Amino acid sequence: MNVIGESVKLVMEEDPLRPLVLGGDHSISFPVVRAVSEKLGGPVDILHLDAHPDIYHAFEGNIYSHASSFARIMEGGYARRLLQVGIRSITSEGREQGKRFGVEQYEMRTFSRDRHLLENLKLGEGVKGVYISVDVDCLDPAFAPGVSHIEPGGLSFRDVINILHNLQGDVVAADVVEFNPQRDTVDGMTAMVAAKLVRELTAKISR
């Protein structure tokens, strides 16, 4: 994690470069966000697209696991707002942790009601910018089966693109995580989807 953080800071020293980090699992988001916040001198707003909240205190005894990255981010004060979109696998602890940290959790069961809000987000005012974290499993497995933790009932690719395209804010960094090529059995379909997400984020960051 220290290597990841220092690498991110090195990239940010080369103005106007901004980091777009490819996972790996979601544990990488903690050192990346920490480094971005420390380098910029304050917290960011985070848009987190995922089937899972990844805000548990620990997973299998590991407080730095892929399921705990956003708990560490919020504990460290590296984010002001954390919006989690696409959630459809969450326990009572996940909801309690969300309330504890003031997280805005948007579950798929209410997506049709929340769609207009989520497709017209304005983030980053009064902080150091916006960080976007995309777990490929935010997408329904019909679009992206090559992930480790498949959860049916997710976002369509167009849903994600609409959210990203319409987001207003200065995107200072991003990550794309949890693509698992060993499970990408449909002619590299998920790889193509993940590559498209990387391209769209690159365009969003470079504006």
- Mean pLDDT confidence for 54-62: 94
Poorest-confidence range of 52-56, 123-127, 185-189?
185-189
Cα separation, 83 vs 201, in Å, equals 17
- Lookup result for tokens 């679009």: 143
The mean of the pLDDT values for the chain is 97
- Mean pLDDT confidence for 79-108: 98
What is the tens place of the pLDDT at every residue in 136-155?
999 999 999 999 999 999 99
CB 91 within 8 A of CB 101: no
* pLDDT value, residue 185: 85
* pLDDT value, residue 207: 72
> What percentage of the chain exceeds 90 in pLDDT?
97
Given phi > 0 = left and psi -120 to 50 = alpha, else beta, which region is 80?
alpha
Cα separation, 22 vs 199, in Å, equals 12
What is the tens place of the pLDDT at every residue in 163-186?
999 999 999 999 999 999 999 988
The set of residues, in sequence order, having a beta carbon less than 8 Å from that of 55 and lying 6+ positions away, is 68, 70, 71, 74, 84, 94, 97, 98, 101, 103
Fold of domain 1-206: Arginase; Chain A (3.40.800)
Q: Which amino acid is at 87?
A: I
Three-state secondary structure call for residue 59: strand
Query: What's the predicted TM-score (pTM) here?
Result: 0.97
Residue ranges per structural domain of the chain = 1-206
> What percentage of the chain exceeds 70 in pLDDT?
100
Q: Is the bond leading into 24 cis (omega within 30 degrees of zero)?
A: yes
Give the DSSP H or E segment for 201: helix 189-206
* pLDDT value, residue 186: 83
Cα separation, 9 vs 157, in Å, equals 31
- Mean pLDDT confidence for 185-195: 94
